[in-house]
């Protein structure tokens, strides 16, 4: 039963790794994968000497870190609140509504957000005007752009995380709540001493997996919403790779950036697994 999945994983995740060699070449597609001149670490040195690379790296880590924290805290809080609802049909209805945005692409949501946040005709601008505040060009402001990315990403994805945490709650032994009630524990005490400890393995797993994405700030979202006006605070590693690799045809440099990202992500997720094992006795093998 595992064989089809292993084959697909090998074809789409391991075979393409041959392309890593492009990072060490002055690559020309017409020469084939191994026909270009090998230049060692020149592409990596070029990347590290780019004048704006540190700002791009900061933007990536800043946006990604905020997404990781908000993407864990918001679903956890919503799951705890939904767990307190007694009417099952209301609970299911809310779950469905908050889960729906997960299935929408950023191409569609990008168009919706551009309309909503328009400084001239957008609904947010109209509300600000109504209360006497000058409209803000959220998608054209270097100050507001990162926060718009985080808020919109959380709005799209928190329903998925909420379902995961609700599933963890349903796996908690009900007798633990009965024992807590017998001891006179309030709802808050039950949540703190029973629910949260019971969810801890899933929380640790979600944190561990998310740390590997600290250099992935969300290419699809930012590509559909950013512009040269917000490069200072919105340009990330993935958008730089896109421009250098597909627009400027600097394939070697773009591959070098992608390889550096992969190495750093591998190190971070390895450290996070080790910390999860040492601090929470969580292990995947």
CATH number at residue 103: 1.10.3720.10
59 belongs to a structural domain? yes
| Distance between CA atoms of residues 206 and 80, nearest Å | 16
Q: Which domain holds residue 58?
A: 38-280
The size of the chain, in residues, is 285
Q: What was the pLDDT predicted at 92?
A: 87
191 belongs to a structural domain? yes
Query: Could you tell me if 114 and 139 are in contact, meaning their C-beta atoms sit under 8 angstroms apart?
Result: yes
Read off the tokens for 264. Answer: 């750093």
Contacts of residue 232, Cβ cutoff 8 Å, sequence gap at least 6: 55, 142
141 belongs to a structural domain? yes
H helix or E strand, kind and range, residue 37: strand 37-38
Distances (CA, A) of 5 to 12, 15, 165, 219: 11, 14, 26, 26
Q: What was the pLDDT predicted at 280?
A: 66
203 belongs to a structural domain? yes
Residue 35 sits at φ, ψ, to 5 deg, of: -95, -10
Q: What was the pLDDT predicted at 59?
A: 92
8 belongs to a structural domain? no
Residue 25 sits at φ, ψ, to 5 deg, of: -130, 160
Predicted model pTM: 0.86
47 belongs to a structural domain? yes
Beta partners for residue 25, in sequence order: 38
User: How many domains are contained in the chain?
Assistant: 1
Beta partners for residue 38, in sequence order: 25
260 belongs to a structural domain? yes
12 belongs to a structural domain? no
Ranges of residues in the chain with a pLDDT under 50 are none
């Amino acid at each position: 039963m595992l064989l089809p999945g292993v084959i697909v994983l090998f074809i789409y995740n391991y075979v393409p790794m041959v392309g890593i060699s492009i990072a060490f070449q002055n690559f020309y597609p017409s020469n084939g994968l191994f026909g270009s001149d090998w230049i060692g670490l020149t592409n990596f040195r070029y990347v590290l000497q780019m004048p704006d690379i540190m700002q791009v790296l900061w933007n990536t880590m800043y946006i990604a870190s905020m997404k990781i924290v908000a993407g864990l805290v918001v679903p956890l809080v919503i799951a705890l609140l939904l767990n307190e609802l007694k009417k099952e049909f209301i609970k299911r209805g809310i779950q469905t509504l908050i889960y729906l945005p997960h299935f929408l692409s950023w191409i569609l949501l990008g168009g919706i957000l551009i309309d909503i946040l328009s400084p001239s005709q957008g609904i947010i601008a109209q509300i600000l005007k109504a209360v006497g505040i000058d409209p803000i060009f959220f998608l054209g402001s270097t100050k507001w752009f990162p926060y718009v990315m985080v808020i919109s990403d959380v709005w799209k994805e928190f329903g998925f995380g909420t379902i995961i945490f609700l599933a963890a709650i349903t796996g908690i032994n009900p007798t633990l709540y009965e024992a807590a009630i017998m001891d006179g524990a309030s709802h808050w005490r039950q949540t703190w001493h029973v629910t949260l400890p019971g969810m801890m393995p899933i929380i640790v797993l979600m944190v561990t997996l998310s740390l590997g994405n600290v250099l992935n700030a969300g290419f699809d979202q930012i590509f559909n919403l950013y512009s040269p006006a917000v490069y200072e605070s919105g340009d990330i590693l993935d958008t730089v790779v896109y421009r250098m690799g597909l627009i400027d045809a600097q394939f070697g440099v773009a591959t070098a950036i992608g390889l550096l990202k992969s190495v750093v992500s591998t190190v971070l997720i390895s450290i996070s697994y080790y910390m999860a094992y040492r601090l929470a006795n969580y292990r995947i093998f």
